Amino acid sequence: EDKVVQSPLSLVVHEGDTVTLNCSYEVTNFRSLLWYKQEKKAPTFLFMLTSSGIEKKSGRLSSILDKKELFSILNITATQTGDSAIYLCAVTGLDSWGKFQFGAGTQVVVTP
């Protein structure tokens, strides 16, 4: 059965700090790993990673995948209060097409 473990479960940082979130996974015939940000309502898509070692970047957020060690990292630099959210990681495999396994999420609180 597919499994996703995120760490830490929660953290509190000050504005301007850098945050590193971890997502480790077990999935048969890995196909892709996705990161989402969830504020008050619906999760919104951040990144999709399919290849190892290639960094995806959007502004202050970046993410990288290590397919050998089966984990991904999401980095947020120069954090702002608007980065406060739950960050969710999800994986899918070739054998589970259309079916995503989510982790428990990391709650990030950025204080002024």
Q: Which residues bind another protein (CB under 8 A)?
A: 4, 6, 9, 31-32, 34, 41-45, 48, 88, 90, 92, 97-105
Name, in order, each residue with C-beta under 8 angstroms of 9's C-beta and a sequence gap of 6 or more.
104, 105, 106, 107
State in angstroms the smallest separation of the CB of 15 from another protein.
26
State in angstroms the smallest separation of the CB of 82 from another protein.
19
Phi-psi region of 94 (alpha: psi -120 to 50; beta: other; left: phi over 0): alpha
Nearer to another protein, 51 or 112 (CB): 51
